[in-house]
Amino acid sequence: MPIRRPRHNFRSRRPRLDVLEDRSVPSSNGLIGHTQLMVDKGSFDPSSILVRFSDPGPGPVLPFRAVGTTVDHAIELVPGLYQMKLSKGMSVAAALDMYQANPAVRYAEPNFLIHVENAPNDPKYLDGTLWGMNNTGQSGGTADADIDAPEAWDLATGSSSMVVAVIDTGVDYNHPDLAANIWSNATEANGLPGVDDDGNGFVDDIRGWDFANNDNNPMDDHSHGTHVSGTIGAIGNNGIGVVGVNWNVQIMPLKFLNAQGNGTTAAAIAALQYAVANGAKISNHSYGDTAFSQAHLDAIQAAGAADHLVVAAAGNGNFFGQPINNDVTPFYPASYQPAIDNVISVAATTRTDAFASFSNYGAASVDLAAPGVSIYSTMPNNAYGFKDGTSMAAPHVTGAAALLWSCAPGQSVTEVKQRLLDNTDSIAALNPNRPTVTNGRLNIFKALNAGQPGLPTLSISDASVTEGNSGTVAVDFTVTLSATSTQDVTVNFATANGTASAADYAGGSSTVTILAGQTTATITIQVNGDDLDEANETYFVNLSGPVNATIADGQGLGTILDDDPAPSLSISDVAVLEGDRGTTIAVFTISLGTASGQSVTVNFATANATASSGTDYTSRSGSVTFAPGETTKTIEINIKGDRKKESDETFFVNLSSPANATILDGQGLGTILNDD
């Protein structure tokens, strides 16, 4: 899939939580100076900023501290990162200017506010069924459009050794369907009141921490975090309410959004730091926005280095509820790309396996989908209710990761992520315009089952083909089994665009079978020929959902080799009457012999013949660019009129240095016709 790097230009917009109780994270991108801070004052904390020093040095002494700022606290998860407090009268913009101008500073950015987003008007189903866990076709759904939880529970139901942090609005830790699965800090619970018994910097943090109000009571006064927690780990087999993906797990409540749904980037980072430092292997992040924060990315990357998995909601569309392609418009934290790939980005599906109308997508930036519409779960004050959104899809994946990791504690964060992604149910055919990395929906049973010892592994080859000028040409991808099996092996496959599009090849999805006793099968893709000069193009064939095998290498790269010659350039001759005064315009036409599929540029410059620049015409030089598909461009030269009786005069417009084209006729003759 194409790798679309996040764009880091500062966006002046108010952050929000993703549609349907999702998430929202504002952000900065290597801010340049306070003249670039075109942002609503309500979108960042006016009393503090985040600063990371290149080399903080030993001890508490910083290499630089701007006038009007003091150290609030160090963020130990990211070496050199500090929250700096601003004195009265010091603006965020001015403080950033001072820090960004100092060579000892790696970056400085506002301490962005984070907000809960209002839910869209999606239908609420009143049947009370947890269709995302087990879909039998109830309420108009499609049978088995679920995560196969009952099948997974025959293999495992969770473990109290697995700690999952819910970084959100808090958790109702007294809820009867959650209380026994709430994480407890044993040292503080058995320690002295008012004393930091475990020395972790937090006093009496028995059940986590409230970073929104800086106290030890992470109670949910909103509802979002409690709903998320029930999907991850509501107590199973207790005869009441609902059941989570994990019947048995430890949920660590980390509140950074207040009752109004507002928080800061610094608080989100502090919550993640607490989670990592206190033993959480996974954290759920059902919030986000299109703004980028380098500090937040650094924190997630540091968490990855500590083998910590971040599961994030992909987003619920734009202001109008229309889905967004995250490859084009990244949504953070789901779109962060840390060096250790410890982020899983989750889209939302309905009970028919169709994408939710609001759900974001992305062939390179959204990993998989999970149930996210009409999700029934725990609510504060011993209640239950429905919510929709990628915020509700993400905890299905978080719960699945916890269940899987509890069964395979020796696996790394990247192995756990890949095992989930390699074992989805393909939904590509239902969602042809909403691609993801896997084009699949979560299936925890397949992910657990894939860990059985002795299963052979599947890999898919890369393939390239010369496209030709017309018709189609077949290209074969070979799916190889590492060893013969006594059973048929099946695996789903689906294509995804790289730089190629639907016009370049016949994409699709299906299932391929390797018969018992055999080790290979072929997937054939038809590539469309054309006579358009263009760069080589790429697409992908992705494997998912294997049966009787696991996936070792699930992505085949297809390369379409262009064989069309570069088009040729020529320039016209022009003759024009000079006139008695003022100027007339001589228009030269530059032509491409054939249209190109890529941009074509060429330099031009005038040159004297019998005419003199400055006296008879105005000299010009520069370049022209043909957009893909364009075949003509014009250059205008000003001719100066006079009353002198003289011979016709000439000059030239010469072409040079073409890009993606050749020059056939590179000299245009301009003739100034005397009319005196």
pLDDT confidence of residue 10: 31
Strand partners, 654: 605, 667
Give the N- to C-terminal CA distance of the chain in Å, as an integer: 67
CA distance 166 to 560: 45
Longest CA pairwise span in the chain (Å): 108
Joined tokens for residue 655: 């072409």
Confidence class for position 407, pLDDT limits 50, 70, 90? confident
Residue written as token pair 């606290």 = 73
pLDDT confidence of residue 157: 86
Whether 463 and 556 have beta carbons less than 8 Å apart is answered as yes
Joined tokens for residue 183: 């994480």
Whether 181 and 232 have beta carbons less than 8 Å apart is answered as no
Nearest to 246 by CA among 386, 401, 424, 379: 401
- Would you say residue 12 has pLDDT above 50? no
Confidence class for position 650, pLDDT limits 50, 70, 90? very high
- CB-based contacts of 544, cutoff 8 Å, min separation 6: 421, 422, 423, 424, 425, 426, 438, 439, 440, 491, 492, 493, 494, 551, 554
DSSP state of 208: -
pLDDT confidence of residue 14: 30
- Would you say residue 20 has pLDDT above 60? no
CA distance 414 to 4: 20
Residue predicted with more confidence, 67 or 135: 67
CA distance 323 to 390: 11
Average pLDDT over residues 415-434: 94
Whether 224 is catalytic is yes
Active-site residue, selected from the candidate residues 115, 222, 224, 285? 224
- Would you say residue 542 has pLDDT above 80? yes
Active-site residue, selected from the candidate residues 18, 97, 148, 168? 168
Taking all residues of the chain, what is their mean pLDDT, rounded to a whole number? 86
Judged by DSSP in three states, 46 sits in strand
Query: What DSSP string describes 333-397?
Result: TTT---SS--EEEEEEE-TTSPBPTT--B-TTT--EEEE-SSEEEEETTTEEEEE-SHHHHHHHH
Whether 56 and 63 have beta carbons less than 8 Å apart is answered as yes
Whether 91 is catalytic is no
Nearest to 264 by CA among 425, 45, 463, 105: 45
Q: Roughly what angle, to the nearest 10 degrees, separates helices 413-421 and 390-407?
A: 120
Beta strand 440-441 pairing with 425-426 = antiparallel
**Torsion of the alpha carbons at 140, 144, 150 and 153, rounded to the nearest 10:** -140
Confidence class for position 150, pLDDT limits 50, 70, 90? confident
Whether 286 is catalytic is no
All structural domains of the chain: 34-114 (3.30.70.80), 138-449 (3.40.50.200), 457-561 (2.60.40.2030), 568-673 (2.60.40.2030)
Active-site residue, selected from the candidate residues 43, 223, 377, 391? 391
Joined tokens for residue 463: 């393939």
**Torsion of the alpha carbons at 130, 133, 139 and 145, rounded to the nearest 10:** 160
Q: Per the confidence metrics, is the pTM higher than 0.95?
A: no
CA distance 421 to 402: 14
Write the pLDDT tens digit of every residue in 120-147. 222 222 343 588 888 888 888 888 888 8
| 55-92 core/surface letters (b: 16 or more CB in 10 A; e: else) | ebeeeeebeebbebbeebeebebbebbbbbbbeeebeb
CA distance 232 to 285: 12
